[in-house]
Amino acid sequence: MKSPPSLFERIEAASSEMTRSERLLAAYLTANARELTLENAASVARKSGVSPMTVGRFLRTLGYDSFDEVRRETSRLSAPAELRIAGRFEQFSRSQGPVSDARSAQLTQQIDALVAAHDLATGEHWNAMVRQVATSQRVFVAGYQTVRGVASDFAARLEYVREGVKFLDGADGTYAELLGALKSQTRCLVLVDIRRYAKQAEALASAATEAGIPVFVITDAYCHWARTYTPHVFHVQTDVGFFWDSTVAIVGFINLLMNGVIEQLGKKVGERVSRLEKLQDRFGAFLD
């Protein structure tokens, strides 16, 4: 007998018809699946910024009779993560000495966010992103405001393992390199965006989608706009109790993407790195 669809599969199937509030709620449920065993409908409503009525209606749309059903399903995800987190935290405590309650909670949340990011690195949409980033003739990367540096770093490191990578800063006002390129060139766009969300990110995703360019969005748990333009949205947990949202899990997720691309490219990576090392030596780029 076929197993019933998971929470993630139900959300994916309903994504094209979601309202803005439902997209907010879906993003929160996806990014916080491991913690839902400790939640109820009211707390999820409060944290995701929607009404309790919206939570109930949305869950019924997905085929659940109550939030208890969601808790039971996601409880299977929580136990292994908690065991891994406990082990890592005990080791950290032994090596670092006394840690305040606040810092202990923040560490636990960051590790949990990393574990959840690893869980995102599987399935149809993950495989599509790895494949496109590895095989497209041109790969464009963009990020704005506080995650500009994260996106730029990814583009710079990706260029070491494959050619045809470009970080888009939008300085030309047209994004012509992406949108004005020959249609014969295969292209894809990787966007990194967290709250407060950049107008440029949504506008670029919209234009790229209209041009038939695959778009992949790496974002936080609350992003409400991305699924309007692409099904390839990866909600990563950034809210871990710090003043600013933490980018630890986003960087971890991007590292997984980089590794996946390298694995797919295989020996081509070694050949390119070898060529670049010779150029580095020629121009004296490094001290060692």
Instruction: Give residue 100's pLDDT band: very low, low, confident or very high (50, 70, 90).
Output: low
Q: What is the 3-state secondary structure (H, E, C) of the chain?
A: CCCCCCHHHHHHHHHHHCCHHHHHHHHHHHHCHHHHHHCCHHHHHHHHCCCHHHHHHHHHHHCCCCHHHHHHHHHHHHHHHHHHHHHHHHHHHHHHCCCCHHHHHHHHHHHHHHHHHHHHCCHHHHHHHHHHHHHCCEEEEEECHHHHHHHHHHHHHHHHHCCCEEECCCCCCCCHHHHCCCCCCCEEEEEEECCCCCHHHHHHHHHHHHCCCCEEEEECCCCCCHHHCCCCEEECCCCCCCCCCCCHHHHHHHHHHHHHHHHHHCHHHHHHHHHHHHHHHHHCCCCC
Q: Where a domain ends, among 56, 71, 86? A: 71
Which domain range does residue 224 map to? 123-280
Look at residue 137 and tell me whether its pLDDT is greater than 90. yes
Tokens of 136: 């497209």
**CATH classification at residue 58:** 1.10.10.10
- Summarize the confidence of residues 132-154 as an average pLDDT: 97
**CA distance between the termini of the chain:** 61
What pLDDT does 81 receive?
42
Residues 127 and 66 in one domain: no
Which of the pair, 82 or 55, is modelled with greater confidence?
Answer: 55
Residues 29 and 148 in one domain: no
Strand-by-strand arrangement of the 138-143 sheet: 165-167, 138-143, 187-193, 215-219, 233-235
**Which is nearest to 231 in space by CA: 118, 134, 133, 123?**
123
Residues 128 and 225 in one domain: yes
Instruction: Give residue 79's pLDDT band: very low, low, confident or very high (50, 70, 90).
Output: very low
What pLDDT does 250 receive?
97
Q: What percent of the chain has pLDDT over 70?
A: 90
- Summarize the confidence of residues 122-139 as an average pLDDT: 96
**CATH classification at residue 160:** 3.40.50.10490
Look at residue 256 and tell me whether its pLDDT is greater than 80. yes
Residues 243 and 178 in one domain: yes
Look at residue 34 and tell me whether its pLDDT is greater than 90. no
116 within domain boundaries: no
Residues 138 and 239 in one domain: yes
Residues 146 and 37 in one domain: no
What pLDDT does 84 receive?
44
- Summarize the confidence of residues 109-115 as an average pLDDT: 88
272 within domain boundaries: yes
pTM: 0.73
Instruction: Give residue 95's pLDDT band: very low, low, confident or very high (50, 70, 90).
Output: very low
What pLDDT does 82 receive?
37
180 within domain boundaries: yes
Sign (positive/negative) of CA torsion 202, 162, 232, 35? negative
Residues 180 and 241 in one domain: yes
What pLDDT does 224 receive?
85
